Amino acid sequence: MCGIIAYTGYQAATPIIVEGLRRLEYRGYDSSGIAFVQQGQFRCIKAPGKLNALVDKLYANPNPMLATCGLGHTRWATHGAPSEANAHPHISNDRKFSMVHNGIIENYREIKAELTSKGYKFFSDTDTEVLLNLIAECRKTAPDNLSAFQRAIKLAHGTFALVLLCGDEPDTLYATRKSAPLIAGIGEHENFVSSDVTAFLAYTRKVIFPDEGELIRITPNTCTVFKLDNLAAIQKETQRIEWDAQSAQKGGFKHFMLKEICEQPAVLRSALAGRLDLAGGRVVLPELEGLKSLKKPERIRIIACGTSYNAGLWGSSLLEQWGNIPCTVEIASEFRYRKPLLSAKELVILISQSGETADTLAAVKVAKSAGCVTLGLCNVVGSSLARETDRVIYTQAGPEISVASTKALCSQMALLALLALYWARQTKTLSGEEIQKHLFHFEQLADLLEKELPEMREEAKDFAVRAASARNIFFLGRGRSFALALEGALKFKELSYVHAEAYAAGEMKHGPIALIDPEFLTIAIAPADEMFAKTFSNIEEIAARSGPILAIADKQGGKNIRSEQQLNIPRVPEPFTGFAILPLLQLLSYEAATYLGKDVDQPRNLAKSVTVE
């Protein structure tokens, strides 16, 4: 949610910031703004709505914008409705400071009451303006801007990524983070701060990842990191981002989502690269070496949100079936509050595409406080999850721009399957020959999907028109297909805004079947697996009640299903069928949303990275 880009250097700041904001649009937002200091005075230009509204205001202004340092922000409303007044950046009462902020200041009401008693006035409904004026108040007694920033941050409770610009230091930026992403980009005589590396990747690949409890001061030629508690300067390693800015462009596709669905064969190759020893019949995961509890855990607990939760649910059966390790899956937002009974002997796997999901990061702290070893599955190098967990395995999916996650899920499923095969060797649940056979089939998946995807998309188009006409949809599946049904329903309602719910097919008779009538559509996932006969019976129960059915099934088994239409699953050896069903479900949602004229890459009310509760 929200996007930050700040620049200081030798070039005009405004075009660079606007370009950065465009690269952050995918995160979801409802307003945007820019601030900079020119001729000793702050200028702040903001607009509700899409970024083009801000651009129109910027270039309608007759005054030249010559500043070489500035702040930019795309806001997704948390405190206060979308409006120009609530958009960021904000300016302090004394007009000496401007700031942008992602996150939530939980004690802003108490701070606001105290500042109001001192004569401060507030012109927005945001918690950001409150914290900014607290910095201005602290500056009255602090020796410098860095100290004032430190004092205010120590008084603030919540989650945040902040960038501050000071009127008396017009080429200097101050920044900090707490449970929210923030990255410094290190260029040649120019530096950047952003919530996402894609905002400045066209200019530099060198980055510094500040940790929680650190402040950074950035000028055109320096990036200095300080400890929050005592402002002692510390050395931080500069890292290099290996993928380039072109990876985040549409590459000829109409939408990022379609591009990212079609990238899944490449994602599979990337996720498996260097991790399959086909000759030796083993999975190579050096990230697990050195910790005995990762060699063969007694129990596994997977914690995640949204699509990542569905990945965990899909992978949990493989971890039990192949790895012979008891495995449970939990929603992070519930886990963190229910005072779970944890054992230091269990491994906690936390899954997050961005590595910045607030509830998942909170779950890390709960698990570690109980003495559990934590393992992160994450797509973003240097993210908070990567730093907070004991070990991290990167899914290597590359940048995912569309808000609705697609290829990230494919990579998460791949890593969970690899972990299951890794532990199958440790527990000897599978023979060496069985593991080798599975690895061979796994390695063939990318080529198969690449061949089948064009035909899958054409089939999905006709299927989607029928689904788009529904007002309510059940997605049904059993076993691992239930996890995919959950994801199918999630994607469909995310993109098309049509009400869709997922059920384990066997649960239909326990209540939901009462809703079935000739207007209530069911999309049934029925691969030719060990559960097919059971799923077939559940479909018959719906057909007997005149419920319309669209089936996702293989050609042989699906021919007996009483369905209006059928999407054919490519022939894939079990249990890898899910990697073929997944893009079918994604294409169905994509084509339905496109048919209905929805904003596919930026669905309403959604944000790419949920960094607040």
**Residue pointed to by tokens 């400890």:** 227
Question: Could you tell me which residues come within 8 angstroms of residue 438 by beta carbon, excluding any fewer than 6 positions away?
Answer: 322, 421, 430
Question: What's phi and psi for 173, nearest 5 deg?
Answer: -115, 140
The residues carrying an active-site annotation are: 2, 608
Question: Residue 274 and residue 284: Cα distance in Å, rounded?
Answer: 7
Question: Residue 551 and residue 543: Cα distance in Å, rounded?
Answer: 12
| Burial 108-142, CB ≥16 within 10 A → b, else e | beebbeebeeeebeeebebbbbbbbbbbbbbbeeb
Question: Residue 211 and residue 231: Cα distance in Å, rounded?
Answer: 14
Question: Could you tell me which residues come within 8 angstroms of residue 555 by beta carbon, excluding any fewer than 6 positions away?
Answer: 568
Angle at 305 between CA 301 and CA 309, to 5 degrees: 55
Residue type, 404: A
Look at strands 169-178 and 214-218 and give their pairing. Answer: antiparallel
**Residue pointed to by tokens 């508690």:** 229
CA-wise closest residue to 315 among 483, 527, 526, 438: 483
What count of Cα atoms within 13 Å lies in the side-chain half-sphere of residue 440?
9
Q: Are 245 and 201 in contact (CB under 8 A)?
A: yes
CA 65 → CA 12, 42, 429, distances in Å? 8, 11, 67
* Termini Cα distance of the chain: 11
Sequence length of the chain is 613
Question: 13-23 and 51-60 helices cross at what angle (nearest 10)?
Answer: 170
